[in-house]
């Protein structure tokens, strides 16, 4: 990929992000923040790339592995905790007694 | 183009689409939960796409697999355990911690590539390409480090492990932070100039900058800072995408970065604060005590829990205004018991939720939902404000600035212009509060002086418990 096309990707991604969140009810601010936060753990892909391309370089493997751990902590924790929050909203008054 | 490339391209495209749909869906109550799962699925899909691409092209060494598995298991396990165990009241600091780790991950990737350049296949030296590489590594480290240390400081402050040191409220902090920022810039330029060891200087000073910027910010502004740091972690991910040449990373990072900025803006609006004043103004109380410190309370009416119970029993319509204090006292379950009793007596109960109630926008809704409050009873400010004149009793629990009439009446007040709940329009207002201390803003609350306001002093949880007892004695809610 040329640098210029990566810049286009960056630009279009940012515009998409700006468009996606227009009106959010305040109720959902915390879950939305937490969900978006989980997505930012996408750096796990970069960590994976690092490990695959390390070619037996042990320090690099370790750095990649620690980085992957941090990213997955972010991703898995983030999605679970968001789900926990949202589960409370979706409980209908009819099915509890 | 060979097959693995095409497969990866299709999977990446699908993942981006699903992530975008996920973020979109998260902004609507009905679709939010499914959207969150959709995003999680898209993330797993992207991992499958990447691994299958490497399997189909260069292959993945056994050694790499081992380190992948170790890292994934440890990270996922800790993340899942923390997410399951953490109480709902500590949600903001949990988000901050997760966020900081995302930043740390980007930082480590960039650092790894910087120290051990990965073979890109082409050996011919390209000045332009290596410049871009160094810039993206530097940005990834800079933003990643700020995200990490900033989030950790935010978490520590929310947990109460760290208080705001006095010197950070003086002008000195601007000087200190400028020094850190300039030092980061020097390290960055030195790095581009070919001095590889200055990368460590960059790591250190940008970490210090993250601490220096977050430390002076006061409790009420913390959610805004977390939201902003969340946006940063997206930017750090996008920068890491440039480092490893991944479009998916760039798109996803940019989306989170942009969405985070919008969310930050929305939060600022709800608090009537500008982003600039949140970041550079220090805590609000430091500047405003001088301007409105003169206000002494002249007409405080205090009353007992018993009187409060008697008034509640006679009411037809009650509005509850929950705030930060309720969250701190973790009294939402006790509150729910009180309102259950009132409802059983045929009293209409509604919760008025200010956009920034709790410790984060939407946090109060989560806390009340946890205590089994029906979603229909939670009313947003604009919906509930016209109802106050027809309301018999308003119960203010641990909220302060969001019910201060000064924001509407007094143009000299620092709060002026902030959207507030018009509780003073109700027939009777009870404010449950520990003492006469001011809210975050440090500003006198005119509401407390009004003739229809009575103060019930005490810890929110204890007062509510006493209230349950009194209501029981009155036979409320027992049929």
Burial class (CB in 10 A: 0-12, 13-18, 19+), B201: middle
A21 at B interface, C-beta within 8 A: yes
Model confidence, pTM? 0.80
pLDDT confidence tier of residue B438, bands split at 50, 70 and 90:
low
State the DSSP H helix or E strand holding residue A96, giving kind and residue range, or none if neither: none
Which of B426, B423, B446, B448 has its CA nearest to residue B435?
A: B448
pLDDT confidence tier of residue B168, bands split at 50, 70 and 90:
low
Task: Give contacts of A 27-86 with B, CB under 8 A.
Answer: 27-57, 59-86
B229 at A interface, C-beta within 8 A: no
Which pLDDT value is given to residue A94? Answer: 38
Q: Is the pLDDT of residue B285 over 50?
A: no
Q: List, in order, residues 6 or more apart from B187 with CB less than 8 Å away.
A: B198, B199, B201, B202, B205
Which pLDDT value is given to residue B478? Answer: 64
- Provide the token pair at B175: 């000087």
Q: Is the pLDDT of residue B195 over 90?
A: no
Which pLDDT value is given to residue B442? Answer: 63
Give the mean pLDDT of B198-212: 93
Query: In this structure, are residues A32 and A21 in contact, taking their beta carbons and an 8 Å threshold?
Result: yes
Give ∠ CA B335-B404-B318 in degrees, rounded to 5: 35
Q: List, in order, residues 6 or more apart from B418 with CB less than 8 Å away.
A: B271, B272, B401, B402, B407
Hey, are the CB atoms on B91 and A81 less than 8 Å from each other? yes
Which of A43-57, B94-108, B144-158, B313-327 shows the lowest mean pLDDT across its residues?
A: B313-327
Which of B103-117, B141-155, B293-307 shows the lowest mean pLDDT across its residues?
A: B293-307
Give the mean pLDDT of B457-479: 82
Q: Is the pLDDT of residue B443 over 80?
A: no
Q: Residue B121's closest chain A neighbor by CA?
A: A53
Burial class (CB in 10 A: 0-12, 13-18, 19+), B437: exposed
Which pLDDT value is given to residue B479? Answer: 54
Nearest to A72 among B54, B75, B113 (CB): B75
Give the mean pLDDT of B126-147: 86
Which pLDDT value is given to residue B26? Answer: 87
Q: Is the pLDDT of residue B53 over 50?
A: yes
The C-alpha of B437 sits at a distance from chain A's nearest C-alpha, in angstroms, of: 28
Which of A78-87, B166-175, B329-338 shows the lowest mean pLDDT across its residues?
A: B166-175
pLDDT confidence tier of residue B203, bands split at 50, 70 and 90:
very high
The interface predicted TM-score (ipTM) is 0.90
Q: By percentage, how much of chain B surpasses pLDDT 70? A: 89
The reply to whether B382 belongs to the active site is: no
**Which among B12, B221, B401, B446 is annotated as catalytic?**
B401
Q: Is B49 helix (H, G, I), strand (E, B) or coil?
A: helix
pLDDT confidence tier of residue B289, bands split at 50, 70 and 90:
very low
Q: Residue B244's closest chain A neighbor by CA?
A: A46
| Distance, CA of A31 to CA of B112 (rounded, Å) | 32
Which of B245, B255, B254, B170 has its CA nearest to residue B215?
A: B170
Q: What is the pLDDT of residues B365-415, one digit of tens each?
A: 878 888 888 878 888 888 888 988 989 999 898 888 788 888 887 777 767
Q: Is the pLDDT of residue B74 over 90?
A: yes
Which pLDDT value is given to residue B3? Answer: 86
| Distance, CA of A45 to CA of B16 (rounded, Å) | 14
pLDDT confidence tier of residue B167, bands split at 50, 70 and 90:
low
Which pLDDT value is given to residue B446? Answer: 82
B213 at A interface, C-beta within 8 A: no
Mutate to test the interface with B, among A1, A13, A19, A92 (most CBs of B within 10 A): A13
| Distance, CA of B172 to CA of B170 (rounded, Å) | 5
Q: Is the pLDDT of residue B343 over 80?
A: yes
Q: What is the pLDDT of residues B215-255, one digit of tens each?
A: 888 766 778 888 899 999 999 999 999 988 888 999 999 99
Q: What is the pLDDT of residues B1-21, one digit of tens each?
A: 688 888 888 999 999 999 999
Question: What percentage of chain B's residues is helix, strand, coil (to nearest 5)?
Answer: 65, 5, 25
| Distance, CA of B264 to CA of B230 (rounded, Å) | 9
Which of B446, B452, B440, B436 has its CA nearest to residue B412?
A: B446
Which pLDDT value is given to residue B229? Answer: 92
Which of B329, B327, B401 has its CA nearest to residue B370?
A: B327
Task: Give contacts of B 27-46 with A, CB under 8 A.
Answer: 27-29, 32-33, 35-37, 39-40, 43, 46
For residue B51, which residues of chain A lie inside 8 Å, CB to CB?
Answer: 48
Parts of chain A with a pLDDT under 70 = 1, 90-97
Query: In this structure, are residues B423 and B396 in contact, taking their beta carbons and an 8 Å threshold?
Result: yes
A13 at B interface, C-beta within 8 A: yes
Task: Give contacts of B 57-116 with A, CB under 8 A.
Answer: 58, 60-61, 63-64, 67-68, 70-72, 74-76, 78-80, 82-84, 86, 88, 91-92, 94-95, 98-99, 101-102, 104-106, 108-109, 111-113, 115-116
A26 at B interface, C-beta within 8 A: yes
Give the mean pLDDT of B146-163: 88
Mutate to test the interface with B, among A45, A83, A90, A91 (most CBs of B within 10 A): A45
């Amino acid at each position: 990929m040329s640098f210029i096309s990566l810049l286009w990707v960056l630009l279009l991604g940012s515009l998409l992000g700006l468009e996606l969140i227009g009106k959010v009810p305040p109720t959902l601010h915390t879950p939305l923040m937490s969900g978006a936060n989980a997505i930012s753990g996408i750096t796990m892909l970069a960590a994976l790339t690092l490990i695959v391309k390390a070619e037996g370089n042990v320090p690099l493997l370790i750095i990649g592995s620690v980085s992957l751990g941090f990213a997955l902590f972010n991703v898995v924790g983030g999605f679970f905790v968001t789900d926990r929050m949202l589960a409370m909203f979706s409980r209908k008054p009819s099915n509890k007694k | 183009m060979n097959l693995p490339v095409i497969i990866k391209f299709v999977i990446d495209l699908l993942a981006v689409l699903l992530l975008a749909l996920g973020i979109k869906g998260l902004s609507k109550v009905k679709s939010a939960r499914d959207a969150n799962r959709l995003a999680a699925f898209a993330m797993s899909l992207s991992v499958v796409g990447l691994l299958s691409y490497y399997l189909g092209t260069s292959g993945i060494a056994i050694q790499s697999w081992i380190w992948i598995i170790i890292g994934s298991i440890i990270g996922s396990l800790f993340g899942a355990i923390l997410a399951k165990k953490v109480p709902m009241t500590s949600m903001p600091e949990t988000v901050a911690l997760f966020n900081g780790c995302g930043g740390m991950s980007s930082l480590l990737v960039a650092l790894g590539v910087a120290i051990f350049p990965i073979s890109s296949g082409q050996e011919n030296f390209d000045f332009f390409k290596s410049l871009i590489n160094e810039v993206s590594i530097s940005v990834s480290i800079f933003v990643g480090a700020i995200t990490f240390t900033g989030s950790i400081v935010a978490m520590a402050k929310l947990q109460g492990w760290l208080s705001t040191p006095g010197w950070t409220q003086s002008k000195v902090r601007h000087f200190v932070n400028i020094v850190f920022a300039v030092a980061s810039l020097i390290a960055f330029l030195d790095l581009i100039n070919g001095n590889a060891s200055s990368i460590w200087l960059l790591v250190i000073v940008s970490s210090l900058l993250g601490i220096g910027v977050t430390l002076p910010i006061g409790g009420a502004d913390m959610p805004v800072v977390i939201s902003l740091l969340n946006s940063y972690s997206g930017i750090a991910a996008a920068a890491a995408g440039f480092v490893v040449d991944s479009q998916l990373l760039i798109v996803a990072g940019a989306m989170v970065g942009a969405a985070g900025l919008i969310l930050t803006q929305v939060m600022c609006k709800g608090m009537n604060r500008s982003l600039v004043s949140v970041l550079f103004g220090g805590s609000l109380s430091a500047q405003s005590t001088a301007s409105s410190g003169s206000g002494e309370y002249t007409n405080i009416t205090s009353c007992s829990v018993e009187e409060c119970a008697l008034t509640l029993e006679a009411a037809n319509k009650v509005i509850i205004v929950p705030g930060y204090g309720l969250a701190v006292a973790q009294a939402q379950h006790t509150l729910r018991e009180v309102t259950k009793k009132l409802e059983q007596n045929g009293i209409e109960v509604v919760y008025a939720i200010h956009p920034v109630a709790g410790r984060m926008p939407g946090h109060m809704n989560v806390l009340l939902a946890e205590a089994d409050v029906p979603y229909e009873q939670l009313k947003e400010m604009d919906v509930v404000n016209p109802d106050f004149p027809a309301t018999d009793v308003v119960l203010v629990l641990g909220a302060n600035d969001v019910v201060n009439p000064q924001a509407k009446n007094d143009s000299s007040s620092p709060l002026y212009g902030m959207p507030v709940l018009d509780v003073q329009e109700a027939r009777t207002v009870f404010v449950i509060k520990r003492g006469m201390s001011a809210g975050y803003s440090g500003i006198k609350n005119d509401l407390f002086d009004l003739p229809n306001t009575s103060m019930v002093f005490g810890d929110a949880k204890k007062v509510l418990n006493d209230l349950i007892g009194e209501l029981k004695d009155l036979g409320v809610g027992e049929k």
